[in-house]
Copies of this chain bind each other. A is one copy, B any other.
Amino acid sequence: MSVDLLVRKIKEKGNPSVAGLDPKIDYVPQYIRDKAYAEYGKSLKGACEAIWEFNKGLIDALYDVVPAVKPQSAFYEMYGLNGEEVLNRTIKYAKEKGLYIILDVKRNDIGSTAEAYSKAYLGSVDIDGVTEKPCDVDSVTVNPYLGTDGVKPFVDDCKALDKAIFALVKTSNPSSGELQDMIAGDKHIYEHVAELVNKWNEGTTGASGYGAVGAVVGATYPEQAAVLRQIMKRSYFLVPGYGAQGGGAKGVKPCFNDDGMGAIVNSSRGIMCAYKKGDWQEEQFAEAARAEAIRMREDITGIL
C-alpha cells in the first residue's frame, strides 16, 4: 500500500531516474522503421512493430541502469488498437526485466468512472465471478481537477494491492501556471492540491516512509518544487521536464529530500533520441540510450 517497491528498486540501482517510453515514430531509427514497413506495411501495424523493436532494444539496454520505465499512453493510443497492444507488450516485457512500471495516463473522472479506470490499470475486473487483470502496472498518474472522489478509487486499489499513484500537482509545461499558480486564500492552487495529496496519502505510509500517493512536480519549476517538498513530506515526486524540456540537475534538486530520496526524475526524448546527438550511428540507438541514462544518473546523483 505504498511506493516501497519503487524505493527499493531506486536503491538497488543507485539511480533515482526513470526512462520515459514515449515512442513518437520519428524517434525510431529509420532502419527499424523500414524493416517493419517491409514486413507489415507502412501502416498502424507497421509503425507499432517498429515501436516494439525500438522499445525492446531500449529496455534491453536500460534495465540494469534504471529502476523504472514510464510509458506515455498517448503515444500508444495514437496508433489505435495496434498501439494499445504494443503498450501491453512493452509493459509485460519491462516487468519481466524487473522494471517498475509507471503508466502515464493522467486519468480522471467522477467516482464510479474513476473506479473503472483504476480497475483497468491497478486493480482487477470481475466478470461474473472471474477475476481478470487487463493491464496490470505498478502505478499510474492521475489528474486532481475533480477532487477527492475522483482519486479515492485509485487510493483504495493502492491500499488493497500495494500500488501507487502520482497526482498532478505542478506540471512541467509552460502554461501550467494558468490554473496551478492562481492564489486562492493564502495559497497557490498547487499548494492546495498538495494538501489534498497529503489527505489522500493518509494511512498508506510504508517502510520507506513514503505513501501510495505521490505527486507530479515539474523540474522546470524548482522554486515551487522546494515549497511542495516541504508540504508533501510522505509523497514521492515524479519529476518530468529534465533534459529536453529544459530542466537540469539543478532544477530537480529541490524535489529531493536531504537523504537523496523522495523523487524520481523522468527523461524520455533525452534517452530515446540520444543516438541523434554526437557521433552515434542509428544502429547504436540502444548503446547511446544506455550512455545517456548513465550520464543522467551521474548528473543527478552528483548533486544529491
Contacts and interface: CB of A to CB of B under 8 A. Distances in A.
A130 interface: yes
B129 A146 contact: no
Given A74-B116, A106-B107, A110-B171, A44 B132 contact: yes
A83 B147 CA distance: 27
Contact of A146 (B44, B175, B245): B175
Interface string A91-119: 00000000000001011111101101101
Say which size band chain A's interface belongs to: 35 or more
A81 interface: yes
Nearest to A28: B128
B192 A128 contact: no
B127 A46 contact: yes
* Copies of this protein, total: 2
Contact of A74 (B25, B117, B145): B117
Given A110-B172, A143-B143, A146-B171, A120 B77 contact: yes
A74 to B, nearest CB: 4
Given A106-B109, A144-B145, A147-B177, A127 B47 contact: yes
The 6 lowest CB-CB distance pairs between A and B, nearest first, are: A80-B134, A147-B175, A147-B178, A182-B184, A74-B116, A110-B173
Given A42-B130, A46-B127, 15 more contacts: A42-B127, A43-B130, A44-B125, A74-B109, A74-B120, A75-B116, A78-B125, A81-B81, A83-B134, A106-B108, A145-B180, A146-B168, A182-B192, A183-B185, A189-B189
